[in-house]
Amino acid sequence: MPPGEFALIDRWFRPLDGRAGQGRPDVVLGIGDDAALLQPPAGQWLVAALDTLVEGRHFPPGSEPRSIGHRALAVNLSDLAAMGATPAWALLGLTLPANTDDWLQAFAEGLGTLAARHGVALVGGDTTGGPLTLSVQVLGFVPPGLALRRDGGRPGDLVCVSGQPGEAALGLRLLQHEATLSGAGTAAQRQQLRRRFEYPEPRLALGLALRGVASACIDVSDGLAADAAKLARASGCGLELKAEALPLSAAMGDVAGRAVALQAVLGGGDDYELCFTLPPAREPELATLAAQAGCALSVIGQLTADPALRLLEQGKPRSAPWQGFDHFAAERSE
Ligand code: ADP
Ligand code: MG
């Protein structure tokens, strides 16, 4: 390991490994040895997930390093939220073109602030030179049998979504092509959309509240229609979504117009909201769940015994991006 690499890890990442006030006595040995030593809680299941972000593919070239650090961890915590897990530890595979102190400081702040907020310790990783790529592995826990899976939905279950899907996709579009959407909406609204892409909030509190309540759950990373369809397929069901029931924020409507905004709700990725199913008898619990989770919850349709995927607008079938077609794909710098 070159000396510069050791100094980099020691300066920017070792402070995040749980010993420096992050209060994780389950980190027996953090950053600095060949591997970390971790003490999982007795009787819990270990939940593991890993997601990679590549510059130019998952975020625009030259993005703010603080946002990159936040998103690298947030997209992974979102996977744990979707499983109903409590996060504990993370590992970071960092490939970066140059050792730039300013960049690393902001990156570590973005990642470290989110980690601290959720009590996550960064216990190890790997650092190499190359095109900017972030791989984060997260580990967490769930009581045996209480994990939220994609395959537990039943025909008739209500399909629900948290927060406002689609804002992040419009935010990305603003970050890349401000002019294409800048016809309307206030500066504050455009800022709200950009921030939803740059700083998504993993719905960990919702995931916990849904344990033993939701029949199935998935996080929305590829677009609401595509991810709801994945959940339906995994549950052996079809799906019927109602266009009138989709949430649509004032910011989305004002900045993009209703038609583009609706397409973003259904097809825009990068939201990291949770899409889950609920036995119909539990619908009255939604208000309490929303309060526990600190976010809005919308019922947008239901699972069906018929395997078809349908979007209805005023009772009429409409097309929807069920395949994870990204409406803005042509504008990404791939
Ligand atoms: P080795 O060559 O023995 O694998 P490394 O140089 O890869 O050692 O890493 C030294 C220590 O620094 C290990 O504890 C490793 O987990 C940690 N580490 C390396 N890169 C990172 C990183 N990007 N984030 C967090 N910890 C890291
Ligand atoms: Mg190593």
pLDDT digits (tens, 9 = 90+) for 17-36: 887 555 799 999 999 999 99
Convert 112-129 to b/e letters by CB count within 10 Å (16 or more is b): bebbeebebbbbbbebee
Per the DSSP assignment, residues forming a β-bridge with 95 are 128, 133
Ligand 1 neighbour 10 (Cβ under 6 A) = no
User: Would you say 76 and 49 are in contact if contact means Cβ atoms under 8 Å apart?
Assistant: yes
Residue 32 Cα to ligand 2 middle (Å): 10
Ligand 1 neighbour 34 (Cβ under 6 A) = yes
User: By alpha-carbon position, which residue is closest to atom 9 of ligand 1?
Assistant: 126
Q: How many CB atoms lie within 10 A of CB 230?
A: 17
Cα torsion 34, 69, 78, 17: sign? positive
Distance of alpha carbon 282 from alpha carbon 291, whole angstroms: 15
Ligand 1 neighbour 122 (Cβ under 6 A) = yes
Ligand 1 neighbour 9 (Cβ under 6 A) = yes
Distance of alpha carbon 179 from alpha carbon 264, whole angstroms: 17
| The pLDDT value given to residue 71 | 98
Q: What is the pLDDT of residues 109-158, one digit of tens each?
A: 999 999 999 999 999 999 999 999 999 999 999 999 999 999 999 999 99
Q: How many CB atoms lie within 10 A of CB 310?
A: 16
Q: Name the residue with tokens 């029931």.
A: 245
Convert 54-76 to b/e letters by CB count within 10 Å (16 or more is b): ebeebbeeebbbbbbbbbbbbbb
Give the chain's mean pLDDT: 93
Which ligand is the nearest neighbour of the Cα of 31?
Answer: 1
Residue 126 Cα to ligand 2 middle (Å): 5
Residue 5 Cα to ligand 2 middle (Å): 11
- Does 324 score more than 80 pLDDT? no
Ligand 1 neighbour 127 (Cβ under 6 A) = yes
Residue 130 Cα to ligand 1 middle (Å): 16
Confidence of residue 7 (pLDDT cuts 50, 70, 90): confident
User: Would you say 171 and 195 are in contact if contact means Cβ atoms under 8 Å apart?
Assistant: yes
- Does 331 score more than 50 pLDDT? no
User: By alpha-carbon position, which residue is closest to atom 22 of ligand 1?
Assistant: 125
Residue 181 Cα to ligand 2 middle (Å): 44
Prediction pTM value = 0.93
Q: SS3 for the chain, per residue?
A: CCHHHHHHHHHHHHHHCCCCCCCCCCEEECECECCCEECCCCCCEEEEEEEEEEECCCECCCCCHHHHHHHHHHHHHHHHHHCCCEEEEEEEEEEECCCCHHHHHHHHHHHHHHHHHCCCEEEEEEEEECCCEEEEEEEEEECCCCCCCHHHCCCCCEEEEECCCCHHHHHHHHHHHHHHHCCCCCHHHHHHHHHHHHCCCCCHHHHHHHCCCCCEEEEECCCHHHHHHHHHHHCCCEEEEEHHHCCCCHHHHHHHCHHHHHHHHHHCCCCCEEEEEECHHHHHHHHHHHHHHCCCEEEEEEEECCCCEEEEECCEEECCCCCCCCCCHHHCCC
| The pLDDT value given to residue 327 | 39
Q: At what angle do helices 224-234 and 258-267 cross, to 10 degrees?
A: 40
| The pLDDT value given to residue 23 | 77
- Does 229 score more than 50 pLDDT? yes
Q: At what angle do helices 101-117 and 65-82 cross, to 10 degrees?
A: 30
Best of 14, 27, 123, 127 for a ligand 1 pocket test (most atoms within 8 Å of beta carbon): 127
Residue 29 Cα to ligand 2 middle (Å): 15
Residue 41 Cα to ligand 1 middle (Å): 24
Ligand 1 neighbour 32 (Cβ under 6 A) = yes
- Does 207 score more than 90 pLDDT? yes
Which ligand is the nearest neighbour of the Cα of 95?
Answer: 1
Confidence of residue 183 (pLDDT cuts 50, 70, 90): low
Q: Give the pairing of strands 297-304 and 273-278.
A: unpaired
Q: Among the atoms of ligand 1, which is closest to the Cα of residue 33?
A: 14
